[in-house]
Structure 1
């Protein structure tokens, strides 16, 4: 069975290996460039860090995001082109009648296919994730957005769970619907829906968030996108604590007594150079409320999500074994 599985799978394996080699060459080149530029911006002065941060982000966010999207798409492609046709091909070509009436039972046939090809799916996606994680590590460290929906899903170990889930999902859907094109379409639809729901609805609730008070100073400004004033007071936009997952997009800047920081107070600090103005504001003991997931929860989140996907994968596989024994004919 192992030899037969390899013969049927070798074309897909060679295509995957060639694609992975091409991606590896590009990511090694990109990672080297990121590291060179990271060295240049690492020693920025607080007053210049906002500009340096934006320049560094603009230089590499597009490239790393494109590769991240490709990595997230890889499990979907595996589910569509490896998982969905696995059984439907046998059913449509009527070879199932030969294969499943030999000494090898249909349960053993499915178990061998699932184990070997799931491992292959995880290996391909894992190597891709390892390369991207290395290439983007300095960018993630400086920009501080490891919990971002795209970054989180395309780094470290969670892509392994996506790959296993997508492959088994495609296989089980193919087993049930018995039509290749329909199975491919349903696999893509289900996987896409799951990948939208988990980061946008589920992930932030895996652990209880933390709310704390942050001093409004030069460091806070260097980690923010903008500082604005309106009739309701001052706001800080896009602040991200080092390595944390920010759940606060915009926060009101408050005085020490909790009252809003007003435009009149800001004008009093607007008479010098930007660095002097910032130092003046920092000296007024301002603060804002910030809700986030701490940086030290990154790996617990990775393991929780990986475990959840693997758990669902095992349930799908169990359903597949039950179906092929009792419902497939």
Structure 2
């Protein structure tokens, strides 16, 4: 290891050590917590619980839940990675040398701008990919004993949908790219960190809103003829939109006939001309649709930001 890559390692090794410590700590907690979850499930305490969002209760009438608190903390950490990596790894990547004025001294040693940037960004991107990828895999492995159960964590919960899978890596690289560009554009590192916080937090909030609004992944309609029982919700992600359908296909709110079943429901449906019932939800298979769309959007934005950074290098340094 020599030249620009050696210099990048010297400047980033403290961050890499911190990342390794975070991974090791998370792994130790995950192994211990998952072991307890498996033991609880194997005890038979939850054998009577069915798949679905409704709470499963014990003999005392209280909801039965596994201890998924630490797992949810890891999911929240994974969601926050773009902000953290962008602020503390991306923003100083170019910004520190710009603020201190050492970038020109480095470039005077016969290292081109392209080499200087490529060495440090490649190392940062490799570290970001490794950290985010391993944390996402750790979350998925840890969640498995309690996946999509009333006593565990469903696939559509924010910590699972946005805290696991390939979109976690794409989001982390997006955060790193935002921080890198901010460090190039803003002379002060603290200002670059503040700008990175604003942009990455806003993007994270926008993506979460798009999930809940089903902006890119529309919900499916599940229809049952007449007053027949509706298809089981199971592990689907409901939009909360239930209703009734007329012979002409018009859809009305469920409160027009607020009866779950029985004679009252049949009489009400006949009176209003309703011939079927429906609800809207996303099936568990849509998890991967959400994942790959997020990955494409966030990964594509990361590529664009890095391209802009490369184009601006000559003017800013």
* TM-score in terms of structure 2 length: 0.79
Q: 1:64 Cα shift? A: 2.6
CA–CA distance in 1 between the matches of 2:103 and 2:40?
57
Q: Cα distance, 1:211 vs. partner? A: 1.2
Find the partner of 2:10 among 1, 7, 14: 7
Separation in 2, partners of 1:179, 1:253: 59
CA distance in 2, matches of 1:254, 1:216: 13
Equivalences for 1:179-258 in 2 at 5 Å? 179-201=188-210, 204-213=214-223, 220=232, 241-247=233-239, 249=240, 251-252=242-243
1:21 corresponds to 2:24: yes
Shift of 1:267: 10
1:141 counterpart SS class? coil
Structure 2 residue matching 1:304: 3-state secondary structure: helix
Q: 1:56 to 1:191 in 2, by over 3 A?
A: farther
Q: Say if 2:92 is the partner of 1:89.
A: no
Distance 1:30 1:148 in 2: 19
Moved more, 33-42 or 190-199: 33-42
Identify if the C-alpha distance between structure 1 residues 86 and 52 changes in structure 2 by more than 3 Å, giving closer, same or farther: same
Distance 1:35 1:156, change over 3 A: farther
**Structure number having the greater helix percentage:** 1
**8 Å contact kept, 1:75–1:125:** no
Structure 1 spans left out of the alignment, 5+ residues: 221-240, 269-285
Partner of 2:279: 290
In the alignment, is the contact (CA less than 8 A) between 1:114 and 1:168 conserved in 2? no
1:44 matched to 2:32? The reply is no
Question: 1:213 & 1:185 partners in 2: Cα distance?
Answer: 49
Matches within 5 A, 1:65-84: 65-84=72-91
Tell me the residue number matched to 1:300. Answer: 289
CA contact (8 A) 2:230 2:277 kept: no
* Residue aligning to 2:63: 55
Q: How many residues align?
A: 289
Q: Aligned pair in 2 of structure 1 residues 56, 190: CA closer, same or farther (>3 Å)?
A: farther
Paired residues for 1:98-177 under 5 Å: 98-143=105-150, 145-177=154-186
Distance in 2 (CA, whole Å) between partners of 1:34 and 1:216 is 38
Deviations 1:51-76 (A, max 9, x none): 5278344x434333222112222332
1:124 CA drift (Å): 0.7
CA 1:51–1:146: 2 relative to 1, 3 Å: closer
| Mean CA deviation greater in 26-35 or 154-163 | 26-35
Q: 1:267 to 1:82 in 2, by over 3 A?
A: same
If the length of structure 1 is used for normalisation, what is the TM-score? 0.77
Question: Does the Cα contact within 8 Å between 2:222 and 2:231 map onto a contact in 1?
Answer: no
- Segments of 5+ residues of structure 2 without an aligned counterpart are 247-251, 265-274
CA contact (8 A) 1:28 1:131 kept: no
Question: In the TM superposition, what whole-angstrom CA distance separates every residue of 1:204-259 from its partner, at most 9, and x where no partner exists?
Answer: 22233311225875984xxxxxxxxxxxxxxxxxxxx3333322x2635899xx99
Measured in 2, the distance between the counterparts of 1:209 and 1:15 equals 41
